[in-house]
């Protein structure tokens, strides 16, 4: 079994609560047509569905 | 107060009717994790949200969900437009057709009507925002499941767009939860409900 | 794509950029970089919507001033699609 008890930054947060990391925005897509078709202007939020593992 | 724009958030131009697909996609109109529930959830939760920027976010995402509701309706409408009686019978669309012809009515893929019982307004900021995070994930999963069923690019593109918005909204609700946590005591986030309980000295 | 379709598409793109930036700014109200982007695209959107409404049909009632016929009522509905 993997040991999950090692100290990460997020592990310093109070327990029994959910945390989503803050997004820090530097750049949006230059190609706005592409951003539109993707569904976001933020490259870091582009998480498409592949429907297959190991892609 | 709202105003209306006569265009969709993302274009829907479907060439071929397909009643089978329409019966599946209608779940995102009135189903348990659909856009109607999403919109009503956020627009109803905002009144008891004590932090103005979070209540504003609920308003803006709830408004965007109305635009998504309209996109899903446009997809269903265009998938059922110009259907022949033969196609209706062959595709298993007859039970829907007998009640609604080819009108768009909020129901799940399984035929259950839209219900407010599919979402909550607890009036507790942490609880409501945690539900919102789960709601975005449930809608994302539903879109994933729909994407496995469709090959047609003219249906795929708007569905992929809608799916990605769920991921973006999840991020924003996560940040809204962080804003809420910052206003509370990290030693015990659950000591009181900031939307209800008052400070003794203020009474 | 004709001029009307192109301008309509461009309005959709720019307004989408504003939608995504709005939600970002709701949770990052001090991000000046994002605000500059917002202000820039908001100005472009208003210009394009005005141009589109004058040449083709009004996209909202604040752009629907009419004289001979009620232009808002004549405008196509968004769910009709191109293939209608």
Ramachandran region of residue A46, left (φ > 0), alpha (ψ -120 to 50) or beta?
beta
Give yes or no for residue B203 having a pLDDT over 60.
no
Q: What is the pLDDT of residues B23-65, one digit of tens each?
A: 999 999 999 999 999 999 999 999 999 999 999 999 999 999 9
Classify B107 as helix, strand or coil: strand
Mean pLDDT, rounded, for B108-122? 97
pLDDT at C83: 61
Please give, rounded to a whole number of angstroms, the shortest distance from the CA of B19 to a CA of chain A. Answer: 23
Return the percentage of chain B with pLDDT > 70, whole number: 98
How far is it, in rounded angstroms, from Cα A31 to Cα B100? 42
pLDDT at A55: 57
Name the pLDDT band for B156 (thresholds 50, 70, 90): very high
Which of A23, A25, A41 has its CB closest to that of C17?
Answer: A41
In this structure, the number of other CB atoms found within 10 A of the CB of residue C24 comes to 25
> Which residue reads 């040449």 in tokens?
C55
User: With contacts defined as CB-CB under 8 Å, which chain A residues touch B168?
Assistant: 39-40, 42, 45
Q: What is the pLDDT of residues C41-67, one digit of tens each?
A: 999 999 999 999 999 999 999 999 999
ipTM of the prediction: 0.96
Inform me whether the C-beta atom of residue C11 falls under 8 Å from chain B C-beta atoms.
yes
For testing contact with chain B, the best of A13, A15, A19, A20 (most B CBs within 10 A): A20
pLDDT at C1: 78
- The predicted model scores a pTM of 0.96
User: With contacts defined as CB-CB under 8 Å, which chain C residues touch A23?
Assistant: 24, 28
What does the mean pLDDT of chain C come to?
95
Please give, rounded to a whole number of angstroms, the shortest distance from the CA of A47 to a CA of chain C. Answer: 15
Give yes or no for residue A52 having a pLDDT over 90.
no
């Amino acid at each position: 079994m993997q040991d999950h008890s090692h100290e990460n930054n997020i592990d310093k947060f109070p327990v029994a609560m959910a945390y989503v990391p803050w997004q820090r925005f530097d750049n949006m897509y230059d190609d706005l047509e592409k951003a539109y078709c993707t569904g976001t202007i933020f490259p870091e939020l582009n998480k498409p569905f592949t429907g297959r593992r190991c892609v | 107060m709202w105003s209306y724009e006569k265009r969709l958030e993302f274009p829907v131009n479907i060439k071929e009717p397909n009643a089978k697909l329409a019966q599946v996609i209608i779940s995102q109109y009135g189903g348990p994790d659909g856009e109607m529930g999403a919109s009503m959830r956020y627009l109803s939760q905002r009144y008891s949200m004590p932090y103005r920027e979070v209540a504003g976010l609920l308003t803006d995402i709830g408004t965007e969900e109305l635009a998504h509701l309209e996109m899903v309706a446009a997809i269903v409408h265009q998938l059922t437009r110009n259907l022949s009686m033969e196609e209706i019978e062959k595709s298993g669309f007859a039970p829907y057709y007998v009640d609604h012809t080819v009108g768009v009515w909020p129901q799940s893929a399984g035929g259950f009507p839209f219900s407010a019982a599919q979402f909550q307004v607890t009036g507790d900021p942490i609880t409501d925002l945690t539900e919102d995070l789960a709601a975005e994930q449930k809608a994302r999963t539903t879109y994933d499941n729909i994407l496995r069923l469709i090959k047609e690019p003219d249906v795929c593109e708007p569905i992929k767009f809608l799916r990605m918005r769920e991921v973006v909204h999840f991020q924003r609700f996560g940040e809204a939860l962080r804003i809420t946590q910052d206003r509370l005591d990290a030693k015990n986030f659950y000591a009181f409900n900031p939307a209800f309980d008052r400070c003794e000295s203020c009474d | 794509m004709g001029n009307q379709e192109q301008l309509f598409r461009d309005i959709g793109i720019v307004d989408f950029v504003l939608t995504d930036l709005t939600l970002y700014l709701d949770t990052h109200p001090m991000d000046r970089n994002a605000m500059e982007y917002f202000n820039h695209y908001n100005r472009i959107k208003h210009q394009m919507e005005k141009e589109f409404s004058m040449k083709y049909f009004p996209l909202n009632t604040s752009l629907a001033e009419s004289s001979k016929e009620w232009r808002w009522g004549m405008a196509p509905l968004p769910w009709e699609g191109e293939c209608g």
